[in-house]
């Protein structure tokens, strides 16, 4: 039976490339995004209007996916934002938004999906994090806090689901050639990691056996000591 994969933030960038790669490899897809009409759905995918800040959206989407396909094998938590939150700003609203979308929403998705991933016997959870979750190189404290937090979330999912065959991986790229990186990096687009390469790495990781689990994957387009 074809495996079923959920991907959040699937309408563009890394999320879209992951969806395309999963489709190429025969997965049935449930794709979450704010505006499904913005997605050119030539993949025969189930599209769900997923609003990350809605506290009920995660469970509704998971339930709708299982109702549609009868199972859930893979959750790729990809949706996220990068807003500037520093110590010098009155940025409490931006910090709340960052933590809501980058931390609370992935937690709610993992919480709703974990029982189904356990039942699958070899369920997979992938969290798109960042190298900003492994070190601090600038003063965008809000983004860095959020990415450190979702790496911890990934390890918690890994521990909670291990005995039931669930494997969880935090994928931590540096600069990727997406809209989010535009204007942030001092690199030309072709010098950044490409979204399609991230997608290949993610799907290859999903297909590893339970005996070859990777808790974290660090991906960089430039040299940094230890990263």
Q: Would residue 143 be called left, alpha or beta, if left means φ above 0 and alpha means ψ between -120 and 50 degrees?
A: alpha
**CA pair distance 181, 63, nearest whole angstrom:** 33
Burial class (CB in 10 A: 0-12, 13-18, 19+), 1: exposed
> Cα torsion for 139, 198, 77, 32, to the nearest 10°?
120
Token digits for 23?
Answer: 């489709």
Q: For this structure, is 143 an active site residue?
A: yes
Token digits for 147?
Answer: 């990415």
Angle at 104 between CA 91 and CA 52, to 5 degrees: 90
Residue among 143, 148, 170, 199 flagged as catalytic: 143
Active site residues: 143
């Amino acid at each position: 039976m074809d495996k079923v994969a959920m991907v959040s933030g699937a309408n563009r960038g890394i999320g879209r490339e992951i969806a395309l790669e999963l489709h190429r490899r025969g997965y049935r897809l449930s794709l979450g995004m704010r505006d499904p009409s913005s997605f050119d759905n030539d993949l025969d995918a189930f599209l769900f209007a997923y609003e990350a800040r809605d506290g009920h959206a995660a469970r509704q989407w998971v339930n709708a996916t299982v109702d549609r396909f009868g199972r859930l094998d893979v959750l790729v938590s990809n949706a996220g934002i990068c807003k500037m939150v520093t110590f010098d700003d009155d940025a409490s609203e931006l910090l709340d938004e960052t933590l809501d979308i980058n931390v609370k929403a992935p937690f709610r998705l993992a919480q709703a999906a974990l029982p189904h991933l356990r039942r699958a016997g070899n369920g997979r959870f992938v969290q798109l994090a960042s190298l900003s979750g492994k070190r601090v190189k600038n003063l965008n404290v809000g983004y860095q806090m959020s990415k450190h937090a979702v790496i911890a979330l990934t390890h918690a999912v890994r521990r909670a689901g291990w005995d039931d065959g669930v494997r969880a991986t935090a994928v931590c790229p540096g600069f990727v050639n997406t809209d989010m990186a535009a204007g942030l990096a001092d690199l030309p687009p072709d010098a950044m990691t490409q979204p399609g390469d991230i997608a290949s790495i993610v799907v290859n990781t999903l297909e590893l056996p339970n005996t070859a689990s990777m808790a974290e994957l660090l991906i960089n387009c430039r040299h940094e000591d230890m990263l």
